[in-house]
Amino acid sequence: MHIVTLKRLQQASQQYREAAPEIGAWARIVKLARWRNFAELRATFPDADKVDGVVVFNFRHNRYRLIAAVHYAKRIECKLTLGHVYIGLFLTHKGYDRWCALTPKRRAEWLQF
C-alpha cells in the first residue's frame, strides 16, 4: 500500500513520542501490504474498525487512534494495483471521542484528505 501524507505520521510521532515506535511499525506493515478489502486489512490489524467510510486503527492499547481512508488494491488486466492509505487524523482517545460526538458532516470537515 502507498501511504499518502506520511508527514502527518511524522508529526504524530513527534507530538506523541510514546506512540512513535508503534506508528513506525504500523507504517512498515502497511507499506508491505496489498489489501483488496476490509477483511484482509482486518486480518493484519484485528482491532481496526470501519466508521463513516474510513478506517480507525488503534495504537498503544486504544490510547491513540489513527483515522485513514483506504483505497484497496484492485486487479486490473491481471495486475494487482498498489492501493492507497490516506492519513486523516491521529488523535488521543479523548480527541477521538470528541470526533465521534460530532455530526457526520462535522467529522468529515475535521478530516484532512
pTM: 0.90
Contact (CB, 8 A) for 69 and 53? yes
Indicate whether 112 pLDDT > 80.
no
Indicate whether 19 pLDDT > 90.
yes
Q: Is 50 helix (H, G, I), strand (E, B) or coil?
A: strand
Contact (CB, 8 A) for 56 and 47? no
Sorting pLDDT into bands at 50, 70 and 90, what band is 3?
very high
**55-100 pLDDT tens trace:** 999 999 999 999 999 999 998 888 988 999 999 999 999 999 999 9
Write out the three cell numbers for 52. 463513516
Length of the chain: 113
pLDDT at 37: 97
Average pLDDT of the residues of the chain: 94
